[in-house]
């Protein structure tokens, strides 16, 4: 299996900080699969995401994207290869859902050029993929939290990426919308898109990950197939509280042990 990303001994320290935010981290993200990064607050998840987006450059170590050094990608080339669904994003402007999703076509447009019919068709297809066709012409300022998360996902899909990065995609959602997003992510994976996302919720990882990586105190603790990593022992080590895993109707369930 080929890798979408490969990180080798990557270290990054914020200016003025003594301790690295990411320390000697090596990790592969397989192409066409879903990889989930678990870790507590302050573990280094957000910094790692910035490094994958080339928003930050490692002090030491290398990051390759489809066997090319990430630093060799132009902004336009990277935008056609990787897209991001941020944890949250606000706008002061009353764009319609369709107009906002069309921003995802930016890597394919010349500067100041208007979207063409082809771009509008792709935007509509992205809106359909996440199931928000009925609100395509509503103002984004009227959307609920769940609808806004689906909007961000649609915009990212309009980029037609090979790799989709998501930062805590279910953190602010109720159980119904969480289940909806998880179903969409599983469908995208079946279409061959490489998915990599961070989460605090191991249950979401259990639902859709092929591979799980655990990060704590800036370093990678464990990585591997989901069943091998999502164990009571490793989750307890990661979060510093008793965790339990068990199977019910073929599904892996993760819960915190009540004291």
Ordered by where they begin, the domains of the chain are: 1-66+163-259 (3.40.50.300), 89-161 (no CATH)
How many other CB atoms sit within 10 Å of the CB of residue 7? 22
Q: pLDDT at position 258, please?
A: 58
Inter-residue contact 52 to 30 (CB < 8 Å): no
Q: What is the mean pLDDT of the chain?
A: 92
Please check the confidence at residue 259 and state whether its pLDDT lies above 60.
no
> Residue 256: is its pLDDT beyond 80?
no
User: For residue range 139-189, what is the model confidence (pLDDT) as tens digits?
Assistant: 999 999 899 999 999 999 999 999 999 999 988 888 888 889 999 999 999
Tokens of 28: 């592969």
- Provide, rounded to the nearest whole percent, the portion of the chain with pLDDT above 70: 97
Residue 89 has a pLDDT of 79
Query: Are 80 and 63 spatial neighbours (Cβ–Cβ below 8 Å)?
Result: no
- Give the three-state DSSP class for 81: coil
| Residue 42 Cα to chain centre, angstroms | 17
CA distance 259 to 243: 11
Q: What's the whole-number mean pLDDT along residues 130-140?
A: 95
Mean pLDDT calculated for residue range 2-11 = 98
- Predicted TM-score (pTM) of this structure: 0.93
For CA atoms 145, 151, 157, 163, the dihedral sign is negative
pLDDT in tens, 35-91: 999 999 889 999 999 999 999 999 999 999 999 999 999 999 999 999 999 987 776
């Amino acid at each position: 299996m080929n890798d979408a990303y490969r990180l080798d001994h990557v270290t990054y320290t914020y200016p003025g900080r003594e301790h690295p935010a990411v320390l000697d981290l090596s990790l592969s993200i397989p192409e066409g699969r879903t990889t989930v990064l678990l870790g507590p607050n302050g573990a280094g998840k957000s910094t790692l995401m910035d490094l994958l987006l080339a928003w930050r450059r490692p002090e030491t170590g290398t990051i390759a994207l489809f066997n090319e050094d990430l630093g060799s990608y132009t902004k336009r080339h990277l935008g056609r290869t990787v897209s991001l669904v941020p944890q949250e994003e606000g706008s002061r402007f009353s764009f319609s859902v369709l107009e906002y999703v069309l921003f995802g076509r930016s890597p394919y447009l010349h500067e100041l050029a208007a979207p063409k019919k082809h771009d509008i068709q792709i935007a509509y297809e992205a809106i359909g993929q996440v199931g928000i066709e009925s609100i395509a012409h509503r103002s984004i300022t009227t959307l609920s939290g769940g609808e806004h998360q689906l909007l961000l996902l649609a915009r990212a899909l309009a980029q037609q990426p090979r790799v989709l990065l998501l930062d805590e995609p279910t953190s602010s959602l109720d159980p119904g919308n969480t289940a909806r997003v998880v179903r969409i992510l599983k469908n995208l994976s079946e279409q061959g898109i490489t998915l990599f996302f961070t989460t605090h919720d191991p249950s979401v990882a259990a639902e859709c990950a092929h591979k799980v990586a655990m990060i704590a105190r800036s370093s990678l603790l464990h990585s591997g197939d989901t069943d091998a990593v999502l164990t009571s022992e490793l989750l307890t080590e990661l979060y510093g509280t008793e965790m339990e895993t068990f199977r019910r109707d073929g599904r892996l369930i993760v819960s915190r042990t009540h004291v």
